[in-house]
Structure formats: structure tokens, C-alpha cells
Amino acid sequence: MFREPLLPWMVFLPLAGAFTVLFSPLRETGLRRLALLFSGVTAVLGAVAFAAFSPELSGFQFRFEQDWFTLPGLDAPLRLALGLDGLSVLLLALSAFLMPLILVSAPGHIRHRVREFLFWALLMEAGMIGVFAATDLVLFYFFWELSLIPLYFLVGIWGGPNRIYASLKFVLYTLAGSLVLLVGLIRVALEAGTTDIGRLIEADLDPGLQRFAFACFALGFLIKVPVLPFHTWLPDAHVQAPTGGSVVLAGVMLKMGTYGLMRFGLQAFPAGAVDWAPWLLLLGAAGIVYGSLLAWAQSDIKKLVAYSSVGHLGFVVLGTFAGNATALQGAVLQGVNHGISTGALFLLVGVLYDRRHTRAMDAFGGLARTFPAFAFLLVLTSLASVGLPGTNGFVGEFLILMGTFEQHPWLAALAGLGVVLGAVYMLGLCREVLFGPVTHEANRRLEPLRPREWAALAPLAALMLWIGLYPSPFLERTRFACFETAERLAPWLERAGEEARPPAPALPATPEPELR
Amino acid sequence: MPGPLTPSDWLLAAPLLWLAGGVVAILVLDAFRPAARHEAGLAFLALLGAAWSLWPLAEAAGEPLEGIPGLPVRAFSGMLEASPGNAVVGLLCLGAAALAGILSLRSLCRLESGRHRTALWTLLLVAPAGMLVTLASSHFATLFLGIETLSLPLYVLSALRRTEEGSVEAGLKYFLLGAFASGFLVFGMALLYAGTGRMDPGAVTAALEGGALARAGLGFLYAGLLFKLAIAPFHLWVADVYQGAPTPITALMAAGTKAAAALALLHWAPPAGPLGSGAWALLACATLALANLTALNQENLKRILALSGVAHAGLLLFALAALQAAPGSGASVEAAVNFYLVAYGVSALAAFGALELLERRAGGHAEASALRGLGRRFPVAGGILALAVLSLAGIPGTAGFLGKYFVFAELVRSGEVGVALLGILLTLWSFAYYLRILVVLYMKDAAPAGGPPAVQDTPAAVALWVPAVLVVLLGVWPAPAHLL
Amino acid sequence: MLAAYAPLLAWLVLVLVFVTGLLWVTDRIGRPRPATGKADTYECGMEPVGDAHRRFSVHYYLVAVLFILFDVEALFLILWALQARELGTPGLLEVGFFLAVLAVGWLHIWRRGGLEWDR
């Protein structure tokens, strides 16, 4: 059976690849191919995991368990425990899928210290996959931090002029959260006597402990997402990071935060989640509007995309804490969508930057005529980002808004305003960059898209359309987990004295009729 | 009342005898055959012998103490007392001396045409002997003897580069302040004895119930110990001494002295009582805050690492706070402290060792400006330094993380969650300067090579792998370390 | 117990008051009359010759330190001598071992020229 060793291999391969690259005698091109081979095989394994994931099963699949060592104060040894469920399977596949694309596109912007770049990139991939696959709390924390340090180096070495400041800020912010998370982790481990995530979820911990743990964990995750007051590291990190770093950051790193909120915030500490949910919903909705307004005001394309992330992730947070399965399912999917479309946007910004070495919006104009392939991809990605029906963004946002509306109509209205604002700035970006007269001579002679750029962008574009037109393979895989999570939340919602609503039934596996 | 030595006397005396025997052998050899260069070989033999004789005790680490009769081992009518975990820390001290020796082979040994060889190697044996006595001391006499035996060699070794102002300053500063601290220590012992009539750790308990005289003695005793451990406000000497001393010696001080002093403090810590956990937690927070604040603004990597050592000592005090808050947690707190000391020790050894190699390439400078970009030019030394720094910072996957985890776990278990939150946020501060080291190593363009080309130092480069591998091994698979 | 020290405290206060008072009174009622003689190192009339910073050979200090070292070690012998009969042969062997270790140190110093203080 391939099911048990699948996840360990997905973590191990990039790790092995990282060290193979570090010590390999190969030169630059050979190294790139070697790294691509490792991450490519991992991506194939990710696709296998996605395809072989059974939507009807509850709990973790592809389980792998191996005793590790015993922490004092716990009754059972820590385990190297890996597994997938509906909350994690999409994100795991996305992480594995994005890295080869980044490596393919890397020669455009990473021209020096290639060996180190590939080492850190692969190490980060191992960390990211591990975060989504770990079913042991301590193991989760290991991978959580393992993915942080490589990104620090990626931004710090290959980033823009202000890279050292940006990378330091990014690490300090994130660490502040994860250190608080660590205290929560220690207390949960000691009081629950286990670090197995499955058992923690089943354990029905003491509500007081849940509230404390939720506060600690959520702080770590909210900074990572980042949610409104903690978001200031994100634009700095995004703008300074090299294209590949931005793609990973937007595509996967931020999802680690939303994933953590769902896995721990909702599943393990529902009492805390219910207590804090009103505030988080407010923050999420505020983030949508605030991020969109800020994005609107930017003249640097990359900054615009970075701030748009704040808005998009506001949607995810909104969906996560809306309290029903529909919104949650939307949140899971929207996380993936954001990874795809924002990742593609950053790649497109990288395409421009590699050619013109500027990201100022007014340095471009009329590219639709001189650079049509780029224009096509940018329009498609923008529409996906805005959430036009037929693209992936629509499915996620629609589910979130629908689910939120049932519980909190006013917040849904506020978020709807955010959708409009999103259209304003994204379409504004397209107008400035793609249409109108060609204002700069350099823009007439832009080199057409290279094969490797196509290779990085085309799969993302295909995914946007796939999820947009036929989302059911994605939705059905998340359905069960979201339904169960919402069910777990329901008694706490009732107990909180809110108007008790039965959790809305999850969407049928078939897509919405209007999507067709 | 002298009697025949018992087996447990021999067990604890054997490592000391090996080290002392090594010293005597080196002195005799040097007296009659000064031209023969056997000092290093003899010293390593003595260190190996000491480690070998300590091994049987260390091997029992990790087992529940109640299960094994005769543990912890008490020797010399209870003047020395050591648990298996202590023995592991003892092994760390021996290893630190060995690494300092290996790092010195191509540098300090050749200073002034090798004039100080004998001094170097004998003192490198005496210092760990002092550490072993200190960390097992359970009597005023052994405590004082141990502390003096470990300090005096280090005073001299710090000043070994006697033509360099910084080194002489380090030696003198360490000596004067250290003598002052020893004075405090002895005075405290005298007052405690006067107040309680006891010279064993029971004196601490008695003093807490006793009069003002004994309590004052307790204060002096802790002042002396905290000086050696470099806890605020007694930490001001650390940066200057660590910076001025030759780097191999700094490594020994950081790993060994700290471990010995910390275990001594743990032995002499008051049982849960009127002192409460607040005092220790306050000291710990103050130390962390002051050390981190000072380190932020340093230009010299040795000073940064020195202050990081101060911060780590402060973190250790949280374990004492936990012990105070939850009486009866002695065994697990001791296990946490032992692990922490070993984790910090191997990280500090790797860090200072790698820094020594890089320093030589930079013409003997440890300033950030001189070391710019050297991580890329010398990937092995740079990589080991980066790894060690990540471990000192406490990133998972390294020994430092688990050390931090255990200490904070003790704190949380004792119910001091608020203190744990405050403490862990204070450690966040330290990342700013740890990351700065990484910035210097990897994110700046290389400085032009300065100074004479460094001698190729294969033994040191090979030996550095040992702490580096341990940093990772203890971080991902600590079970074989027998400490848990 | 500390009450026993009360007279000491009183004496200390008295001394401080008396000395500071004396200095203060002198300052108030005295008239300073500076003179060259008063600035001399020795007012008794002795003429200081040469620099006060005389240099001694460092070997001198070395020998002095070594003397103190071995002198202190002799203390241990006294302790042993007081109990020599009771300690018997084992005690003799032990003190012999102690002396042998000392002798090694002394031998080393001697062979390495530490005792040649006039070199």
C-alpha cells in the first residue's frame, strides 16, 4: 500500500533534496534540474495524495505514526505522526504543486548564490508540507518554525534594497506569535497529557484551558495570516522578497495561519473560538475593507498585490469564524484560491520586473498591444482574484458570503463592499498597466514570455479555471471535515447563549447551478 | 574522621584523579624534557580518562532515580553529591576543555614560540576539575574549593595573550571581580555557619527560618554564585572578559563555568519557602532584559555571544522559579536544567569554536565589519556558526529549542503561566541580535580579506563537527542523550 | 544578639561627629598660610631623591609568591603533625603523597628556572 509511506516521503524528499543540492558537485544548471527533480517528484506525490484522498472518510487518512521521544510530563511518547484530512489535503497539494513552479521560474530572478537558494527553497518546502501533514502538536511546531527560517534567508539574501529590515521585521513578528503559541502548546500538552492532534480534538478539554489555549494559538496564527492589526510586516516582506519568496509567502505561508486557526482554533478549542469569534469576525471584515482601500492607494504593483492579500485573507478569517460549514468550506477553498491567484499575480509582477526593473504602475501602459500573452494572463488572474463567476475566486467568496450571511448579515454586507473594492483596484491595475497609450518606449520592445515563464504560469491559469468551472473535486474533499468541525462548534455556540442555529448543511457535492 | 575510601568516594574522585594525574605528568615531563612536546597528548589522555571514569555514572541518566540504589552518589561523607544527569553535565565540561585544547593547538599553543604550552595544558586540566567539584558540591568546603579551582586557571588563561591589551584586561577584570565575588561567597558561608552551625545545603533551609545574620549570609552566598553564573546585576564583567579572552578559552568559560555554577546554584537553591518564586523570576526577567538590551547594540560578535550567554543564564533561573513555585518538582526541574546546560553548552561550544576559525580568517577580529560575508567564503565554519546561533535562539530542530521547551514546561507546570509568557516574550528580543549575526555572515558583501593568511587548522575544523552534530541530534532525537 | 553591638555603634557615631567637627572647626577659625615647606613630601626636612616608581625585577615577585605558596602549604604539615600518632601509617603515607605532589611542583619551578631570581 502506498498510503502509509506517502506523507513521510513527501516531507523527506524535499529535505533530502535540500542536502543533496547543498553537497552536490553539480554546477548551476545541473543543480536547478536536480532541485526541480526532487520538488517535481514531491508534487507528483502531492497529486497522488489529492487524487487518492477519500472524501467519504472521517478523520485522518494516509496516517503514518512512529514513536519519537518522551517529553517529561506526558503519558505517551511524542510521535512522528502524519495524516491528512479535509482541512489539510488541498493546502498540502498546493504546497507541493507551487514549489516546482517557483523553481522553474527562478532563473529569471535568482542569478547568484543559486545553490543556497535551492537549499533554502527545498528546506522550506519540507517545512510547509510538514505543517499541513503533521498530526502531532510538537511536530507541527517543528515544521512551523522550520519553514520560517528559510524564508528569512530567501528574503534577506535575494530580496530588494531594504531586504534586511523587511526580513527581520517578518521574522520578529512571526516569532512573537509563535512564542506565545509555544506557551499555549506547553500548557495544553501538560494538561491534556497528549500532543496528538486527533486526541486533543476528541478530548473536549476544559473550557478554561480552551480559552487560554485559543488566545495563545490564535495570536500566533493571526500574525501569520496576517489579520488587520498585525499585518504591517506583510507589505514589507512581500515587496522586498524575490518573486519566488513572494509566491511562497502568499501561496502557502499565510495559509499556515488560516489552517492553524481552523485546525486548532475551531477543532481543538471550540470554546475559545466561540468566545473570541465576534472579535475575529470584526477583524476579518475590517481587514477586507482596510486591505482593499490600501491596495487601491498603491502605485507599486507588488505592494498593491500585497495589500490585496490582506483583504483576501480577511475573507478567509471571516469564513473560518462565521460558525457554519458552508462558510468554513468556502474559507478552506478561498485559502487555496488565494494561493493560486496571488501566486500567479506575484509571478506576473516578477515577469514585468525582470524586464523593466521597476514595479511602478505608471512605468507601464498599453501592454495589451505590446505584450499580449502577459495581458491575457494578467486579466485572467485579476478576474480570478476579484472573484468573477467562472473563476476560482468566485466559488470561495460566494460560499463565504453565503455562510456568513446566515449568521451575520451585516458583516457579509461589509465583506461584499470589499468585493466591490477588490474589483476597483484590480481592474484599475489592469487599466493602468495594460490599456491606454504606450507611454514608455521600453514597453514596445518587451521580450515575449519565455517557455519557463509559461511553464510556471500556465498550470496556475488552468487551475483557476478548473476550480472556477468544476469545483466539486475540491469541495467534496473538504466537505466532511468542515461539516464535522461545524458540528463540534454548534454546542458551544448554543452554550454561549447565542441564538442556536443548526449548522447549515454542507453544500451538495455538485457545483452551484449558476457556475455552469 | 578518616576512614577507608568507599566505592562511591572512588567513583567521584576518579575523574579528578585522572585530571590531577595529567597535570602532575605534564609538570614532571616539562621539568626534565622541556623540548619534548607531549603536553597536548597527555592532556587529552587525562581528559579521556576522566570522561571514561565518569561514564558509568552518566550512563544511568534518564532512569528514574528511585529505581537505582545508591543514587545520587554521595562521596566523602556527603561533601560531594552527583546524580547521573550531573555526570552528563560533567562530561560536557570535559568536552569543553578538550575542544578548547583542540582549538588552541594551532593558535595559543604557538603563542610566543610555545612558551605558555605547559601553563595552557595544565590549566586546561585544572579548570574542568574545578567544574566537576563545583557541580557536585554539597558542602561549603567543596563549593568554595571547586569555584576557586575553576576560576584561578581561567583568570590566567584569559590573559594568555599577554601582549594584547584586551586579553590582559580580560584577565585582570575577571580576576579582580572574581576575587571580590569569592569574598562574598566566603563571607556568606561564614555568616551562614555562624547563624545556623551547618555547612551543608541544609544550612539554606535553616537560614530561611533563622535570624538576620544567617539570612544576610544567604544573600552573600547567592551573590557569589550569581556572579559566576553572570546573572544581573552581577553580569557586567561578562562582555569584556569573553571578548578579551582568547576565543577557545571563552568557549570553555561559556559552556563549562556556566554549567558548573548553575548546578551549584541548583544544589544550594532554597527549598520552596518564604523566598518564593517571585525573586528568581524577577532576577531572570531582569537578566534577560538587560542582556538582550545590551546585546542589541554590540558590534563585536564575541560580545553578542557573551551577552547571549547572560540571557541564557537568566532563562535558567526560570527553572529555579518553577522549583520554588512547585515543591516536589525537584527531579524534573533538575532534568530540565541538566538538559538545558548541555544544550546551551554544545551550542556555545559550536558558536565560539566556529567564531574562532572565522576570526583567524579576519585577521583576529570579531567585529561585525570584519566578519562580513565570511559565512559564504568559509561555508563549514560559517554554517556551524549559523546553526549554533539558531540553536541559541531556540529554533526547533536544534538542541536549544528543547532546552527552552523543558524550562518553560517546568514553569507552566508549576502554575506560573504568566511568568512563562513574560519570559518567552523577553526571549523574542534576543532574536534581533541572533539574526544580526546571520545578516553579517550571509547577507552582506564580503569584507576584503585582512591580516596574514590563516593557518589551515584541520583538527579544529574536524572537532567542530562534534558540537554541531550534537546540536542537531539533541534537537531532533534527544532520547539517546539519556537526559529525559 | 545585635543589641550587643550598640556601644560600638555609639562609638562609631561619636568618632564621626568628633572628626568631622574638628575638621569643620579648623576650617572655620584657622587662617591658611601656604609656605613652600608645607608642600614637601617629608616635612621633617628629608630631601626625597629620585623617582618613587622604582622598578624591581619581576623575578623577585615570582620568588616572593612562590615563597608564600610553599609557606602556606607548610600549614598543612602542622595540622598533620598535631595528629601524627593517631593517624599512624596511613596518615604518614597520605602526607607523603601530599609532599610528593608538592615536590613535583617545586621540581618544575626549579627546572624551568623559576628560582633564579637574580637572572
User: By C-alpha distance, which of B309, B258, B315, B257 is closest to B286?
Assistant: B315
Mutate to test the interface with A, among B443, B469, B473, B474 (most CBs of A within 10 A): B443
Strand partners, A79: A67
pLDDT recorded at residue B481:
58
pLDDT recorded at residue B480:
59
User: By C-alpha distance, which of B326, B304, B348 is closest to B411?
Assistant: B326
Dist. CA B368–CA C42, nearest whole Å: 55
The total number of residues written for chain B in this structure: 484
pLDDT higher than threshold 80 for residue B60: no
**Separation of first and last alpha carbons in chain C:** 57
pLDDT higher than threshold 60 for residue B268: yes
Dist. CA A267–CA A205, nearest whole Å: 11
Report the domain count for chain A: 1
Query: C-alpha cell of A337?
Result: 484560491
pLDDT higher than threshold 90 for residue B233: no
pLDDT higher than threshold 90 for residue C90: no
Q: Is B202 an interface residue toward C (CB < 8 Å)?
A: no
User: By C-alpha distance, which of A333, A335, A330, A371 is closest to A351?
Assistant: A371
Dist. CA B62–CA B70, nearest whole Å: 15
Mutate to test the interface with B, among A23, A180, A186 (most CBs of B within 10 A): A186
User: By C-alpha distance, which of A112, A109, A111, A57 is closest to A84?
Assistant: A57
Torsion sign (Cα): B307, B309, B313, B318: positive
The residues of chain A scoring below 70 in pLDDT are: 1, 72-73, 75, 497-516
Chain B residue numbers touching A175 (CB-CB < 8 A): 428, 431
pLDDT recorded at residue B39:
85
Nearest CB to C111; choose among B24, B32, B212: B32
pLDDT higher than threshold 70 for residue B75: yes
Half-sphere exposure of A465 (CA within 13 A, CB side): 8
**Separation of first and last alpha carbons in chain A:** 38
pLDDT recorded at residue B210:
77
Chain B residue numbers touching C1 (CB-CB < 8 A): 211, 213
pLDDT higher than threshold 80 for residue B452: no
ipTM of the complex: 0.89
pLDDT per residue over C48-58, tens digit each?
777 778 777 77
Return all residues near A335 (Cβ < 8 A) that are at least 6 apart. Answer: A90, A91, A255, A258, A259, A316, A396
Chain A residue numbers touching B434 (CB-CB < 8 A): none
Summarize the confidence of residues B447-453 as an average pLDDT: 60
Return all residues near B443 (Cβ < 8 A) that are at least 6 apart. Answer: A156, A157, A163, A164
Q: What is the DSSP letter of B448?
A: P
Chain B residue numbers touching A182 (CB-CB < 8 A): 405, 408, 424
User: By C-alpha distance, which of B99, B168, B137, B45 is closest to B352?
Assistant: B99
Top pLDDT among B291 and B363 is at B291
Q: Do B417 and A187 touch (CB under 8 A)?
A: yes
- Write the single-letter amino acid at A311: G
Measured between CA atoms, how close is A302 to chain B, in angstroms? 23
Per DSSP, the residues of B282-318 read HHHHHHHHHHHHHHHT--BHHHHHHHHHHHHHHHHHH
Q: How confident is the model at residue B69 (pLDDT cuts 50, 70, 90)?
A: low
Return all residues near A245 (Cβ < 8 A) that are at least 6 apart. Answer: A151, A154, A155, A158, A159
Measured between CA atoms, how close is B129 to chain A, in angstroms? 31
pLDDT recorded at residue B484:
47
Summarize the confidence of residues B337-346 as an average pLDDT: 92
| Residues A327, A400 contacting (CB under 8 angstroms) | yes
Return all residues near C111 (Cβ < 8 A) that are at least 6 apart. Answer: B30, B31, B32, B34
Return all residues near B420 (Cβ < 8 A) that are at least 6 apart. Answer: A183, A186, B318, B408, B411, B412
Q: What is the mean pLDDT of chain B?
A: 86
Q: Do B412 and A187 touch (CB under 8 A)?
A: yes
pLDDT higher than threshold 90 for residue B332: no
pLDDT recorded at residue B128:
95
Q: What is the mean pLDDT of chain C?
A: 84
Q: Is B446 an interface residue toward A (CB < 8 Å)?
A: no
Mutate to test the interface with C, among B27, B39, B116, B215 (most CBs of C within 10 A): B27
Query: C-alpha cell of C14?
Result: 561619636
Measured between CA atoms, how close is B356 to chain A, in angstroms? 24
Return all residues near B29 (Cβ < 8 A) that are at least 6 apart. Answer: B36, B38, B39, B42
SS3 call for A84: strand
Q: Do B390 and A149 touch (CB under 8 A)?
A: yes
User: Do chains B and A touch, with touching meaning 3 or more CB–CB pairs less than 8 Å apart?
Assistant: yes
User: By C-alpha distance, which of A377, A364, A387, A386 is closest to A435?
Assistant: A364
Chain B residue numbers touching C2 (CB-CB < 8 A): 212
Task: Find the closest chain B residue to C107 by CA distance.
Answer: B31
User: By C-alpha distance, which of B356, B349, B331, B332 is closest to B389?
Assistant: B349
pLDDT recorded at residue B476:
84
Apex B186 CA angle, B182 and B188, nearest 5 = 115
Q: Do B442 and A141 touch (CB under 8 A)?
A: no
Helices H / strands E in chain A, number of each: 21, 2
Q: What is the DSSP letter of B80?
A: E
Strand partners, B82: B73
pLDDT per residue over B102-133, tens digit each?
999 888 887 777 778 888 999 999 999 999 99
User: What 3 state SS string does A212-276 have?
Assistant: HHHHHHHHHHHHHCCCHHHCCHHHHHHHHCCHHHHHHHHHHHHHHHHHHHHHHHHHHCHHHHHHH
pTM of the model: 0.88
Per DSSP, the residues of B370-391 read HHTTHHHHSHHHHHHHHHHHHH
Q: How far is CA A19 from the centre of its chain?
A: 26
User: By C-alpha distance, which of A188, A120, A24, A405 is closest to B383?
Assistant: A120
Please give the residue range of the domain that contains residue A225.
Answer: 3-515
Q: Do B478 and A69 touch (CB under 8 A)?
A: yes
Per DSSP, the residues of A54-83 read -TT--S-EEEE--B--PPTT-SS--B--EE
Half-sphere exposure of A447 (CA within 13 A, CB side): 11
pLDDT recorded at residue A431:
87
pLDDT recorded at residue B152:
93
What are the domain boundaries of chain C?
Answer: 2-39, 58-111
pLDDT higher than threshold 50 for residue B67: no
Q: How confident is the model at residue B1 (pLDDT cuts 50, 70, 90)?
A: very low
pLDDT higher than threshold 60 for residue B468: yes
User: Do chains A and C touch, with touching meaning 3 or more CB–CB pairs less than 8 Å apart?
Assistant: no
